[in-house]
Amino acid sequence: MPQPLPLTGIKVVDYSHFLAGPFMSRCLAALGAEVIKVERPQTGDAGRQSPTISGGVSGYFLQQNMGKRGLCLDLRQPAARDLMARLTAKADVFVENYRPGALAKLGLGYADLARVNPGLVYCSVSAFGHSGPLSDRPGFGLIAEAMSGAMSIIGSPGEAPPLFRMPLADMYAGIHGVAAIVAALYGRRDSGRGQHIDLALYDCMVSMHDYALQGYLMSGGTELPQQTGQDLPSSTIYGVFSARDGHLVIAAQVDDSWLRLARLIGGEALAADSRFHGAANRNTNREAALTKVRGWCAAQPDRAACLAALQAAGVPAAPVQTVDEVVADPQLAARGMFIEQSHPTLGRVRMPNLPFHFSDYSMPDSAVAPGLGEHNSDIAVELGFSDAEIAAMQDSGALYSA
């Protein structure tokens, strides 16, 4: 019989919006935590207005907020602040991604909540963190991606860097938040105390560099990574190549893989060519090696033929898949990376799943993301409010539902 999910019994208040915070709490919910999504009246999380919109419902919001319950409060009203105080007093985790200092003005800063609930693990996500000369600046993932140096090394030489088209800073910060929260909860077992986790999108992007920063530092500032387009000059052959009907990647930068590739595209003569023996020689003669590989790819009937030949030769390669190809990929189907949910107005909706796989946990399908204020009454009852008090809060707008 499977074990209970690892975060079963953990209560999370998600007072975040858009992406880093909601993704983080979605992960916590999938791992068994009870997550209550707290939103403001009328508009709620700004992610509710993000595309794709179908039947007035945001797919963006559905993806990042499944598995949660919804509470909508007007924190300008004393009754709503009382409800929030009761909620956070019983919580294990509080997640927020507002500008540093903003929630302290509402009495929801870490110091405020920890006075009442010293075991609370409070996770803040912001553009630049709660310290340093830029800490008071607002920012989005794009800002962190640009400042981190990551954008400066992508794209073709001499051209403006492209957008990543995937929210690297937000998602990386979100999953770091999951790790930090779980670590803090583990540490609380012995100390009994929670703590404030201060995550910056900028920090997370800088930490993602695998070679650029250490290369610059280790070389005494002489090795400054540049845009290289479709390949890496320090790793020949490692990059993107074009077939007649699409693109593929080939990773033959190590000697064994290069020799297999060389025999495939040029026979023993190419495999024996000393210009390409060893990584240093291949890098020195990079353009000649690239010309050989590009010519071979272009001469094949199509991309599928390229990939079949590379696979048969034992050369690591893969198609550059378009989104429709990803959705139809049988590998992802086998891994359960798309889930279907039943939405009250849209019917069946299909969403990307999280990549968690455990040997002894049964990962249930997550509930569909909540409507604005959908669980107001249920949560208020659990916190000890009477029916009359709940009705009064609903009438005053302290509790709001769409």
Known catalytic residues?
170
Q: What does the buried/exposed string (b/e) look like for 87-103 if buried means 16 or more CB atoms within 10 Å of the residue's CB?
A: bbeebbbbbbbbbbeeb
Place of tokens 């709490």: 25
Query: Which residues have a Cβ under 8 Å from the Cβ of 214 and sit 6 or more positions away?
Result: none
Amino acid (1-letter code) at residue 138: P
d(CA 367, CA 172): 24
Alpha-carbon torsion (262, 265, 267, 272), positive or negative: negative
The distance from CA 256 to its chain's CA centroid, rounded to whole angstroms, is 34
Angle, CA of 97, 100 and 101, to the nearest 5°: 120
Q: Which two tokens stand for residue 198?
A: 């201060």
d(CA 346, CA 243): 40
Q: Tell me if 121 sits within 8 A of 190, measured CB to CB.
A: no
Mapping DSSP to helix (H, G, I), strand (E, B) and coil, where does residue 20 land? helix
Q: Which two tokens stand for residue 6?
A: 């690892």
Q: Tell me if 202 sits within 8 A of 144, measured CB to CB.
A: yes
